[in-house]
Copies of this chain bind each other. A is one copy, B any other.
Amino acid sequence: MRYGTGHKETTRQRILDAASRRFRAEGIAAVGVAGLMADAGLTHGGFYAHFPSKEDLVREAVADALDQTLARMTAKAEDGGLAALIAAYLSPEHRDRPETGCAIACLGPELTRHPPETRDRFAAKTEAFIELIARHLPADDQGTGHRARATALLGLLSGTLQLARAATDAEQSEHILAAGRQAALAIAVPPCNPRP
């Protein structure tokens, strides 16, 4: 059958959305092309009309996922500063919804084992996240320390979210999130020089 203008683009986006969610929820290796196409209401053979390979889909889906997270976190920071970004990132809601959450925390280690093109794309988005944080850090010292604090902050956020997800005790998981928020706020303001 022949379809109207924009139909193919819509289908492509449907595949991409399914991939973006399921990769984050289940890991890349655990999600197959056939299952993904079934999610999009299609059969597996049609996949290669949209993407040259699964690895190409991985690149696109991860970039899309991180763009969504970057947009959400940018909004939070613009509304309530870094404190709001931190509260959102280390919230129970984010912990409980990996499929719509930060891909760095869900897929970072797995993506490190992927081919260079995929890694480069992922590294660039991680860079963008660090820059977003740096942009909202109080301007108290020179540029260098600024960037370092932003980098450590992202490491703390992502690492702590993973620990909170790994915990099998609910109360313990809450304590991990709270500990991360507290330490993140301490990094966000310059040491021994609280915000005015």
Interface residues in chain A, defined as those with a beta carbon under 8 Å from any beta carbon in chain B: 26-27, 29-30, 104-113, 116, 119-120, 122-123, 126-127, 147-149, 151-163, 165-169, 172, 175-176, 178-180, 182-184, 186-187, 191-192, 194
Contact = CB atoms under 8 A, between A and B. Distances in A.
B107 A148 contact: no
Q: How many copies, total?
A: 2
Contacts of A106: 109
A143 to B, nearest CB: 12
A64 to B, nearest CB: 18
Nearest to A173: B123
Closest 9 CB pairs of A and B: A159-B159, A152-B183, A155-B160, A148-B179, A155-B159, A151-B179, A29-B29, A156-B156, A158-B159
Contacts of A187: 183, 186-187
15 contacts: A30-B113, A111-B166, A123-B168, A126-B163, A147-B175, A148-B178, A148-B183, A149-B179, A151-B160, A151-B163, A151-B176, A155-B162, A155-B180, A158-B162, A187-B187
